[in-house]
């Protein structure tokens, strides 16, 4: 999912998937900024995806 | 679709398939295990087996968390759900997993408040919105989902959400693989490693496989090109006499994994000395419980549960499927008594289950019951 809006620690950041799905995702476990792609499991980003 | 479409390109797939035929030794048979149910799903959905040389066989491993949860733990969850004032939350796959007294879906139909969530954070939100109820999250999954449970519990503690607890059934990937490799029943030439687990744990937990068992591992992503490339990398290892852990899924996995996720897990969880796996029996140090510092959030301490061990139905051969001993269609009840609509075994319930994947994508193909016709 792509991060489209930042958030405070332990608060969900707004992210959008390639199919348009929008979700609030915790980014606490990765170094991700707005525009980055992240791999999400259970509402938590577990990796920043690199091309 | 970034990070998806480029890994589903048929031209690239056929090019890798041609290369596969170049690297195999036609005088031998190759048996490779895909550990993760997500890979099993990809293999059936995209007809990967039909692209492989005839002497390369893929067998399915124990990496589907819904498939390996024993019936007794489902019975415990149902016992919690039936208590007045309890809201039991879980991922959708768990609703139809058979326990000794039906499923969570049956319990819901009978009046229990069972709700599907997409994240444990949703369970915590339900707890905040229902302060008079006890909200329990039925947590399952490997190291992929354990970090989200860990962060949820850290947040619950920070917010002092007293009516939230977790029924923890998280498991770890290393011990079942060790048990599998120690079993004389299974003979394998290499492993397609679980990419999403490895984003968290890194490649370290798989190093014992080449070091102690002389088998190669390639940690792979979940698109069809990922799986094909991983198979190619394994076959190239075998051809060149190498035996190591390699990472195909470099866009998400690093050798060290995700240190922050591991630290969160280390804070919230402790290792259970024993845990029962469906079809695999009790495996030491293979599961997580809540650490003592989080005992206030431990549903196993908050509620009385039956806590009994229940044997799988005799007709069910999920254990053999999970050990890679048989293929789904070789099970006595596959597609007859056991279907996704009325599953007997967990491998037919879960989206990542080998039986469900084959039933959904393979059974109706011409010459069905042969994996190479999928797709």
- Chain A residues with CB inside 8 Å of B151's CB? 10, 26, 28-29, 44
Binding-face residues of B in 235-264 toward A, CB within 8 A = 250-253, 258, 260-261, 264
CA distances from B137 to B37, B87, B344 (A): 23, 9, 24
Three-state DSSP state, B7: helix
CB contact under 8 A, B148 and A26: yes
How close are the terminal C-alpha atoms of chain B, in Å? 21
Give dist(CA B215, CA B70) in Å, integer.
29
> Could you read off the pLDDT of A1-51 as tens digits, one per residue?
999 998 888 888 999 998 889 999 999 999 999 999 999 998 999 999 986
Q: Which residue of A has its CA nearest to B256?
A: A47
Is A26 an interface residue toward B (CB < 8 Å)? yes
| Chain A residues lying within 8 Å of B260, measured CB to CB | 28-30
Q: What is the pLDDT of residue B1?
A: 59
> Residue A26: which of B2, B121, B196 has the nearest Cβ?
B121
Please tell me the predicted confidence (pLDDT) of residue B351. Answer: 78
Q: Which B residues in the span 64-123 are in contact with A, Cβ-Cβ below 8 Å?
A: 118-122
Determine contact: A4 vs chain B, CB below 8 A. no
Q: What tens-digit pLDDT sequence spans chain B (375 residues)?
A: 567 788 999 999 999 999 999 999 999 999 999 999 999 999 989 989 889 999 999 998 888 888 899 999 999 999 999 999 999 999 998 999 988 888 999 999 999 999 999 999 999 999 999 999 999 999 999 999 999 999 999 999 999 999 999 999 999 999 999 999 998 877 899 999 999 999 999 999 999 999 999 999 999 999 999 999 999 999 999 999 999 999 999 999 999 999 999 999 999 999 999 999 988 899 999 999 999 999 999 999 999 988 888 888 888 888 888 888 888 889 999 989 999 888 888 899 887 888 998 888 876 554 555 444 333
CB contact under 8 A, A50 and B154: no
Nearest CB partner across the interface for B148, out of A18, A37, A41: A41
Check residue B326 and give left, alpha or beta (phi > 0: left; psi -120 to 50: alpha).
beta
pLDDT confidence of residue B363: 64
pTM metric for this prediction? 0.92
Specify the pLDDT at position B372: 42
Identify whether the C-beta of residue B165 lies closer than 8 Å to the C-beta of residue B137. Answer: yes
Q: Do B119 and A42 touch (CB under 8 A)?
A: yes
Residues of A in Cβ contact (< 8 Å) with B4: 18
CB contact at 8 A, B100 and B231:
no
Quick one: CA torsion of B310, B313, B314, B319, rounded to 10 degrees? -80
How many residues belong to chain B? Answer: 375
Neighboring chain A residues of B251 at a CB cutoff of 8 Å: 49-51
ipTM, two decimals, is 0.89
pLDDT of residue B279: 82
């Amino acid at each position: 999912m792509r991060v489209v809006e930042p958030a405070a620690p332990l608060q969900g950041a707004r992210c959008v998937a390639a199919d348009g799905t929008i979700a609030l995702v915790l980014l606490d476990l990765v170094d991700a900024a707005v525009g980055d792609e992240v791999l999400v499991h259970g509402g938590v980003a577990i990796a920043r995806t690199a091309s | 679709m970034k990070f998806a479409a480029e890994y589903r390109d048929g031209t690239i797939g056929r090019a890798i398939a041609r290369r596969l035929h170049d690297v195999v030794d036609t005088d031998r048979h190759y048996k490779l295990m895909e550990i993760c149910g997500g890979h099993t799903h990809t293999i059936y959905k995209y007809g990967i087996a039909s692209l492989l040389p005839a002497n390369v066989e893929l067998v399915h491993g124990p990496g589907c968390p819904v498939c390996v949860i024993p019936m007794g733990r489902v019975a415990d969850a149902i016992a919690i759900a039936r208590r007045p004032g309890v809201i039991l939350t879980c991922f959708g796959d768990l609703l139809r997993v058979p326990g000794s007294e039906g499923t969570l879906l049956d319990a819901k139909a009978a009046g229990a408040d069972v709700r599907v969530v997409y994240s444990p954070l949703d369970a915590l939100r339900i707890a905040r919105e229902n302060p008079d109820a006890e909200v329990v999250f039925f947590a399952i999954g490997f190291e992929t989902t354990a970090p989200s449970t860990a962060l949820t519990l850290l947040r619950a503690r920070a917010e002092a959400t007293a009516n939230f607890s977790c029924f923890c059934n998280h498991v770890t990937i290393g011990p079942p693989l060790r048990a599998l490799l120690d079993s004389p029943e299974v003979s394998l030439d290499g492993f397609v490693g679980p990419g999403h687990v490895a984003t968290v744990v890194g490649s370290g937990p798989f190093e014992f496989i080449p070091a102690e068992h002389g088998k190669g591992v390639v940690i792979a992503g979940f698109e069809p090109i990922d799986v094909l490339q991983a198979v190619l990398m394994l076959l190239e290892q075998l051809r060149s006499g190498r035996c190591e852990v390699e990472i195909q899924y470099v866009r998400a996995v690093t050798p060290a994994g995700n240190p922050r996720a591991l630290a969160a897990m280390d804070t919230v969880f402790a290792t259970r000395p024993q845990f029962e796996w469906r079809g695999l029996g009790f495996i030491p140090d293979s599961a997580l419980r809540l650490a003592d510092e989080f005992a206030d959030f431990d549903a196993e301490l908050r509620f009385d549960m039956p806590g009994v061990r229940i044997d799988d139905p005799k007709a069910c051969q999920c254990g053999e499927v999970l050990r890679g001993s048989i293929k789904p269609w070789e099970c006595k009840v596959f597609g007859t008594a056991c279907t996704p609509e009325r599953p007997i075994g967990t491998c037919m319930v879960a989206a990542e289950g080998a039986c469900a994947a084959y039933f959904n994508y393979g059974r109706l193909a011409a010459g069905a019951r042969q994996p190479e016709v999928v797709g």
